[in-house]
Amino acid sequence: MFKLPVYMDNNSTTRTDPRVLEAMMPYFTEKFGNSASRNHAYGWETEEGVDLAREQVASIINASSKEIIFTSGATESNNLAIKGVAAMYKKKGNHIITASTEHKAVIDTCMRLERDGCTVTFLPVDKYGIVSPQQVADAITDKTIIVSIMAANNEIGTVHPMKEIGAICKAKGVLFHTDATQAVGKIPMDVEDMGIDLLSMTAHKMYGPKGVGALYVRRKDPRVRLDAMLDGGGHERGMRSGTLNVTGIVGMGMAAEICRKELHSESERLLKLRNRLHEGINSKLEDAYLNGHPIHRLPGNLNISFAFVEGEGLMMGIKDVAVSSGSACTSASLEPSYVLKALGLGDELAHSSIRFGLGRFNTEEEVDFVINDVVRAVNHLRDMSPLYEMHRQGIDLKTVQWAAH
């Protein structure tokens, strides 16, 4: 038997792998030195730990360890990359290109820069959530300094054609940043092959601890320069001052190492589990629609809209399953997910979505449990859904005049 509720929200965060915790432990107790202390053994041994972690993190994206800047997480990395470039290259231009489905850490960063005088192009996506390389090419002007396109989407799991977008940026002489928070450790990421100049990542999405992340900053062809956001001791090649979070960094290194070694077998296992979940749901329920791309998606991500049922209400019905909903009925705005809306999804389907995030610790038994629980809850809610009733009577919901409140 397994623990309830079943944790299937691994796109939000992941459990720290016991092997990661084990690697971190000594750095809380005996090896507590400041890695910047150059004059004694306490500093040297923690510096060694950080150096190893830097190698491990670099190697999962095929970078050199000198190109890794440790941060507090992907939000900071995204801020540092985009704001740092905007400030450093302002003489060259002020135009930024990104996608409408990016994480808020990118969107809100770009919107702040827009208020500060930059011009931002938010590219629309197709029905699967993809920005095409051609769209990027068409949007680049002589004022463009950076293109920021996420590697994989956090809600719908859609994976972007990194290599093609990278090639366009290279050809046009524009820096290419990617928020690879969801992708690193889940799908192969290679900054050389994909032509990536800056890459954001975080430890807690890959079975490492929360509160630590990294930014890859290319050192040659081209050498990327950033205006730092924090002033201080000049750590991390002057790009990120502040005493290093050694325990977190060591944990991130180990997490990356495990992901790199197990990536192939684990992504195959997750894909099988995801297909089992998807097919299990589809065989028992009608009108359950996949959001995101059917093939170009993270192996562990399944986002489904259960028509005629509201997402938050559904989550309440599956209290033994921990998942996320794209419906934000809890917020005052009642606005459903902007990512789902960007796909062109109707409001009722955007309000009906559930994101399942499968991870390293999920099992087949858990998947079967989730299938049954979800099917039961959806049927229960459809029995009391006026929309389902209208649908069964052959009424097209789009033609109904709603008395909106």
In the complex with another protein, which residue's Cβ is closer, 38 or 398? 398
Reading the block at residue 271, the tokens are 């894909």
Give CA 33 to chain center in angstroms.
32
Looking only at the bridges linking them, the beta strands covering 353-357 and 301-306 are: antiparallel
176 binds another protein (CB under 8 A): no
Reading the block at residue 117, the tokens are 């005088």
Which listed residue (41, 171, 334, 395) binds another protein by CB under 8 A? 334
User: Where do we find the tokens 């991870």?
Assistant: 359
In the complex with another protein, which residue's Cβ is closer, 171 or 316? 316
Alpha-carbon distances of 26 from 120, 133, 277, rounded to whole Å? 46, 46, 40
Distance (Å, rounded) from C-alpha 42 to C-alpha 38? 9
CA atoms within 13 A on the CB side of 29: 6
In the complex with another protein, which residue's Cβ is closer, 238 or 346? 346
Which listed residue (331, 394, 396, 399) binds another protein by CB under 8 A? 331
Using CB under 8 A as the binding criterion, the count of chain residues that bind another protein stands at: 30
Which listed residue (133, 336, 357, 359) binds another protein by CB under 8 A? 336
In the complex with another protein, which residue's Cβ is closer, 163 or 319? 319
Reading the block at residue 97, the tokens are 């290109």
What is the DSSP secondary-structure string of 69-129? EEESSHHHHHHHHHHHHHHHTTTT--EEEEETTS-HHHHHHHHHHHHTT-EEEEE---TTS
User: Where do we find the tokens 């302002």?
Assistant: 90
286 binds another protein (CB under 8 A): no
Q: Smallest distance, Å, CB 377 to another protein?
A: 11
Q: Smallest distance, Å, CB 405 to another protein?
A: 6
Which listed residue (129, 313, 357, 359) binds another protein by CB under 8 A? 313
In the complex with another protein, which residue's Cβ is closer, 209 or 313? 313
Judged by CB under 8 A, the chain residues 338 through 357 that form the site for another protein are: 346-348, 351
Looking only at the bridges linking them, the beta strands covering 213-217 and 198-202 are: antiparallel
Q: Smallest distance, Å, CB 378 to another protein?
A: 12
Reading the block at residue 164, the tokens are 């093609």
Reading the block at residue 256, the tokens are 């990356």
In the complex with another protein, which residue's Cβ is closer, 267 or 303? 303
What is the DSSP secondary-structure string of 256-286? HHHHHHHHHHHHHHHHHHHHHHHHHHHHH-S
**Catalytic residue positions, numbered:** 329
Q: Smallest distance, Å, CB 382 to another protein?
A: 9
Which listed residue (317, 338, 361, 379) binds another protein by CB under 8 A? 317
CA gyration radius, the chain: 22
**Which amino acid, one-letter code, is at 20?**
V
**Which amino acid, one-letter code, is at 53?**
A
Q: Smallest distance, Å, CB 310 to another protein?
A: 5
**Which residues 6+ apart lie within 8 Å of 200 measured at CB?**
74, 77, 78, 81, 177, 178, 179, 180, 181, 213, 214, 215, 216
Judged by CB under 8 A, the chain residues 362 through 391 that form the site for another protein are: 383-389
In the complex with another protein, which residue's Cβ is closer, 230 or 397? 397
Q: Smallest distance, Å, CB 127 to another protein?
A: 19
329 binds another protein (CB under 8 A): yes
**Using CB under 8 A, which of the segments 82-90, 192-200, 276-284, 309-317 binds another protein?**
309-317
| Phi (first) and psi of residue 372, to 5 degrees | -65, -40
**Using CB under 8 A, which of the segments 50-58, 130-138, 216-224, 313-321 binds another protein?**
313-321
Handedness of CA 56, 154, 149, 246 (dihedral sign): negative
Q: Smallest distance, Å, CB 323 to another protein?
A: 15
Which listed residue (39, 283, 330, 399) binds another protein by CB under 8 A? 330
Residues that bind another protein (CB under 8 A): 308-310, 312-313, 316-317, 327, 329-332, 334, 336, 346-348, 351, 383-389, 397, 402-405
